[in-house]
Structure 1
Amino acid sequence: MYTTLHVVPLTLFIAPKRFFVKQIIRTMSTHYDAIIIGSGQGGTPLSMAFAQAKYKTALIESSHVGGCCINEGCTPTKTLIASGRVAYLTRRGPQYGVFANAGADATTNDVQVNMEIVRKRKRDIVDSFRSGSERRLREAGVELIMGTASFKDERTLQVRGLDGPEKSLTADRIFVCSGERPAIPKIDGFDAASFPPDAILDSSSIQELGVVPSHLVVIGGGYIGLEFGQLFRRLGAAVTIIQRGNQLLPREDAEVAEIMHKVLEEDGIRILLKAAPTAIHPHTSSQDPATKVSVSVSVSGQNGQSELQASHVLFAAGRMPNTENLNLGAAGIESTARGHIVTDTQLRTTNSRVWALGDVKGGPAFTHISYDDFRLLRTNLLEEGNNTTADRLVPYVVYTDPQLGHVGLHEHEAREKFPDRKIQVASMPMSYVARALETDESRGLMKAVVDAESKQILGFTCLGIEGGEIMSLVEMAMIGGVKWTALSNAIWAHPSLAESLNNIWSFLK
């Protein structure tokens, strides 16, 4: 441990002994080779890599090890979604000739959902993942400091411990991986404290519900809103999604968004496009408590003003970076108007001693991007590499059912980026896929975007059963520079979802 003791003015030696001791303690700082702020999917492995390379390393975490992915994001939400799919398939059993009880009426589709069990299963898996991360940090020799950090200057952090005094830490290199959190939209007169407990939710708090909402209003028609909306519809809630734009999933091509819209409406979800909440307030009428109405949502939409009565409201209209308490200015670190840290293509900030990785720097907010940021920094700083973020291929999956998997450019992006190229597009319904028909999971479509001259694949979307896995096959081809003709001519096992990659290219236009 390297400890720096700053010079104490001579006048302090004539002060009372107690004051002198306090000043010495206050001015002590511990020095590290590397400090990482935030234990997400980039910060945790980065701290381990530095520690295993024999650098003195500290990892500062303000709440719980593992970051958003393990604690509020990928792991818990996909665990809950699995429960939702079981409920969905249980209701569909009679369509497959399978009944819950011998002699049951084929028209019966009621299922019982125990949210306490659903929640416990989620908690248990999160706990196991979190404890595994903590164990690996210890084994790697990382010093884990629980507390909140802020910059004092370009290389010094002040850390307020969760269970101890403030510490002053210095480092040769500092890495910010503090992530993002749910954003609450600004609505005139809205005060979350005036509502019953758990009535107003975000993407974290909704996962702790012990009951199924009677009516869940979801504000936001992006990835998070759709996943939770479909999940709770399958668990038995009435669901309404309010989307400000003219389509769900604003980043997707219009035809993909339209099919997703149709899928969710088939599942019984009400969708309001070009609509926005103008007021949210506690429900005050004297209706029967059995209706479980606790929130009134005023909505301005295409057909004027309307009022929704709900048991719960989920804010799913965006996220904001965790940077407001970092005192970035003291370290000479620039940020955007939204608070994201500005970095170059090698993730260095405007302070040459500081790098940022993961969601906190803006850009695609996916766990696998945060992990790739870690790999870039490990390569460049520990292995003398020269990697950059330029032109990296970005895949993602929306875990609705069917899944939406995408990689590369959307059609509208390809046409904007390459106005002088001939772009070809192939769209094929999932109802043309034998395996999808055999499993009675034929909703959705596959869409490919290619360069007509080079035959290179520019982008691919699969909204369909196991869409993320099909997308990953095409991603491998794109990584290897494999032309679409090779996929078209490949021998794929039959019957499999992959063999659809023989057929989609016949739809190229």
Structure 2
Amino acid sequence: MTQKFDAIIIGAGQAGPSLAGRLTAAGMTVALIERKFLGGTCVNTGCTPTKAMVASAYAAHLARRAADYGVTVGGPVGVDMKAVKARKDEVTLNSRGNLESWLGGMEKCTLFRGHALFESPRQVRVGGELLEADRIFVNVGGRALVPDMPGVDRIKYLTNSSMMDVDFLPRHLVVIGGSYVGLEFAQMFRRFGSEVTVVEKGPRLITREDEDVSAAVKDILEKEGIGIRLNSECISFEPRGEEVCVGVDCASGDRQVLGSHVLLAVGRRPNTDDLGLDKAGVETDGHGYITVDDELRTSVPGIWALGDCNGKGAFTHTSYNDFEIVAANVLDGDKRRVSDRLPAYALYIDPPLGRAGMSEAEARKSGRNLLVGMRPMTRVARAVEKGETQGFMKIVADADSKEILGAAILGTGGDEAIHCILDTMYAKAPYTTQQRAVHIHPTVSELIPTVLGEMKPAE
């Protein structure tokens, strides 16, 4: 027998539960389907657990630096990986439990556990249950990409998900991929005590960033003893007893790295290949992402796609904003659009990188007359006081319109301070507005008006 609802939501990641809350509050009956854990990537294998582990790694790093602050600790600093994992698990389970309690008490919402399969544009099967609704919202997220590299099928490897089960210290962790996920794990496990090598196919780390940002991040990691292998065009794997031999280079340097464990961090892919989207007529692009318009509607009327599976963003905050866009359009008659969203994200190494808007390279390509302001963190009082002076601040603006185009803050508190820039950009205010703002001393943010006042024409 078919069960009818006003709406079906497939996936309980960052957009799904909040959307269920808005729809049920509007009087709709909602079927929410989740095949694994409530909360999606963020709560279970992404933001929440990894940032809990980053905090443990930071504590270990700071303890080793205690003498720099005039603090004496007894003996060498040790890391109990089982305790680190237990703390991380507690943080994750509390977050997931809060979500389960909220959904459990949500009237008009029925939670179905299992794998969803479209049978038509209005029908979805979950196990032996057939559900039907005029509105269907797809929020199925993504997973780690496992590339078809030579020998990858012959070794045991880790991904961002399976790293959450690690309760031991790898002797030598080889990280394949020099971008956001890989670098966070690289620094984290180096601080826990592992030998770490990052293997990147490209000529520099985090290639979407400006070259000066990439170089500064590389310097930060290398100073902590992390090996960086760039231009690794011929990555391959070969088991060597209990170890893994990673081929990294065809032309120069040591052509192989012998590690105890391999982490694949080379990208993500959407969880859209096993939903039966063809039976619903929902179109996807060449990478499997569901094709959507500016209001997140798919090619089929009455079906929307939110979160990582639509290719419009790969972050918790963009997924949640997808929920806000859909709710505003469906329930409030408020025409919110994806194109109104400004790019913003952070890289959570220590110190973190906060990013908003265009990079300098992107701004230069736009052909505008640019103003650029820079300040090293060595000239930020708060950073000096904390003894954390690595990195710099950079802001790019349009010289003619005085519009802030983008910024990068690599340094202590950079992930928070970047919001000063982001909010000014959303307000569409000229940079002179923030330049005249009086910020609190001593903070990292107080130097933003100073940087804005010192901007010079781009060379």
Query: Following superposition of structure 1 onto structure 2, how do residues 86-101 of structure 1 map, counting pairs within 5 Å?
Result: 86-101=59-74
Residue of structure 2 aligned with 1:173, choices 135, 151, 156:
135
Unaligned runs of 5+ in 2: none
2:299 counterpart SS class:
coil
Query: Following superposition of structure 1 onto structure 2, how do residues 73-472 of structure 1 map, counting pairs within 5 Å?
Result: 73-101=46-74, 110-141=76-107, 142-160=109-127, 166-191=128-153, 195=156, 200-276=157-233, 278-284=235-241, 294-303=243-252, 306-416=255-365, 418-419=366-367, 421-472=368-419
Q: Once the 2 structures are TM-superposed, how far is the Cα of residue 300 of structure 1 from its aligned partner?
A: 2.0
User: In the alignment, what sits opposite 1:107?
Assistant: none
Q: Is the 8 A contact 1:273 1:301 kept in 2?
A: no
Q: Once the 2 structures are TM-superposed, how far is the Cα of residue 439 of structure 1 from its aligned partner?
A: 1.1
User: In the alignment, what sits opposite 1:478?
Assistant: 425
Write the distance in 2 (CA, Å) between the matches of 1:55 and 1:475.
Answer: 35
User: Which amino acid counterpart does residue 59 of structure 2 have in structure 1?
Assistant: V
User: Which amino acid counterpart does residue 463 of structure 1 have in structure 2?
Assistant: L
Q: Is the 8 A contact 1:156 1:171 kept in 2?
A: yes
1:355 counterpart SS class:
strand
User: Which amino acid counterpart does residue 412 of structure 2 have in structure 1?
Assistant: I
Q: Once the 2 structures are TM-superposed, how far is the Cα of residue 294 of structure 1 from its aligned partner?
A: 2.0
1:390 counterpart SS class:
helix
Q: Once the 2 structures are TM-superposed, how far is the Cα of residue 304 of structure 1 from its aligned partner?
A: 6.1
Stretch deviating more after TM superposition (393-402 or 479-488): 479-488
Write the distance in 2 (CA, Å) between the matches of 1:301 and 1:485.
Answer: 51
1:336 counterpart SS class:
coil
User: In the alignment, what sits opposite 2:38?
Assistant: 65
Identity of aligned residues (%): 40
Stretch deviating more after TM superposition (467-476 or 407-416): 407-416
Q: Is the 8 A contact 2:42 2:48 kept in 1?
A: yes
User: In the alignment, what sits opposite 2:456?
Assistant: 508
Q: Is the 8 A contact 1:405 1:463 kept in 2?
A: yes
Q: Once the 2 structures are TM-superposed, how far is the Cα of residue 168 of structure 1 from its aligned partner?
A: 1.2
Write the distance in 2 (CA, Å) between the matches of 1:329 and 1:447.
Answer: 46
Q: Is the 8 A contact 1:274 1:302 kept in 2?
A: no
Q: Once the 2 structures are TM-superposed, how far is the Cα of residue 454 of structure 1 from its aligned partner?
A: 1.8
Write the distance in 1 (CA, Å) between the matches of 2:68 and 2:364.
Answer: 43
Q: Is the 8 A contact 1:428 1:507 kept in 2?
A: no
Q: Once the 2 structures are TM-superposed, how far is the Cα of residue 302 of structure 1 from its aligned partner?
A: 4.9
1:360 counterpart SS class:
helix
TM-score, normalized by length of structure 2?
Answer: 0.96
Q: Once the 2 structures are TM-superposed, how far is the Cα of residue 43 of structure 1 from its aligned partner?
A: 0.9
Write the distance in 1 (CA, Å) between the matches of 2:417 and 2:152.
Answer: 43
Q: Once the 2 structures are TM-superposed, how far is the Cα of residue 277 of structure 1 from its aligned partner?
A: 5.1
Q: Is the 8 A contact 1:425 1:448 kept in 2?
A: yes
2:373 counterpart SS class:
strand
Write the distance in 1 (CA, Å) between the matches of 2:240 and 2:121.
Answer: 50
Write the distance in 1 (CA, Å) between the matches of 2:139 and 2:435.
Answer: 42
Stretch deviating more after TM superposition (299-308 or 263-272): 299-308
2:59 counterpart SS class:
helix
User: Which amino acid counterpart does residue 273 of structure 1 have in structure 2?
Assistant: L
Q: Once the 2 structures are TM-superposed, how far is the Cα of residue 190 of structure 1 from its aligned partner?
A: 2.6
User: In the alignment, what sits opposite 1:288?
Assistant: none
Write the distance in 2 (CA, Å) between the matches of 1:125 and 1:242.
Answer: 31
Q: Once the 2 structures are TM-superposed, how far is the Cα of residue 504 of structure 1 from its aligned partner?
A: 1.3
Q: Is the 8 A contact 1:274 1:301 kept in 2?
A: no
User: In the alignment, what sits opposite 1:52?
Assistant: 25
Write the distance in 1 (CA, Å) between the matches of 2:50 and 2:399.
Answer: 40
Write the distance in 2 (CA, Å) between the matches of 1:477 and 1:498.
Answer: 13
Q: Once the 2 structures are TM-superposed, how far is the Cα of residue 209 of structure 1 from its aligned partner?
A: 0.8
User: Which amino acid counterpart does residue 269 of structure 2 have in structure 1?
Assistant: M
User: Which amino acid counterpart does residue 178 of structure 1 have in structure 2?
Assistant: V
1:280 counterpart SS class:
strand
User: Which amino acid counterpart does residue 84 of structure 2 have in structure 1?
Assistant: V
Q: Once the 2 structures are TM-superposed, how far is the Cα of residue 154 of structure 1 from its aligned partner?
A: 1.2
Deviations 1:426-474 (A, max 9, x none): 2221111111111111100111110101211111110000101110111
Write the distance in 1 (CA, Å) between the matches of 2:441 and 2:41.
Answer: 39
User: Which amino acid counterpart does residue 317 of structure 1 have in structure 2?
Assistant: V
2:95 counterpart SS class:
helix
Q: Is the 8 A contact 2:229 2:248 kept in 1?
A: no
Q: Is the 8 A contact 2:202 2:230 kept in 1?
A: yes
Q: Is the 8 A contact 1:275 1:302 kept in 2?
A: no
Write the distance in 2 (CA, Å) between the matches of 1:186 and 1:304.
Answer: 24
Does the C-alpha gap of structure 1 residues 149 and 251 become closer, same or farther in structure 2, counting only changes over 3 Å?
A: same
Deviations 1:140-187 (A, max 9, x none): 221110000111111111212xxxxx2111111000000000111112
Structure exhibiting the larger radius of gyration computed from Cα positions: 1
Q: Is the 8 A contact 1:427 1:508 kept in 2?
A: no
TM-score, normalized by length of structure 1?
Answer: 0.87
User: Which amino acid counterpart does residue 225 of structure 1 have in structure 2?
Assistant: G
* Number of residues of Structure 1 aligned to a counterpart in Structure 2: 455
2:263 counterpart SS class:
strand
Q: Once the 2 structures are TM-superposed, how far is the Cα of residue 413 of structure 1 from its aligned partner?
A: 1.5
Write the distance in 2 (CA, Å) between the matches of 1:212 and 1:439.
Answer: 29
Write the distance in 2 (CA, Å) between the matches of 1:495 and 1:324.
Answer: 51
What RMSD in Å do the two structures reach over aligned CA positions? Answer: 1.4
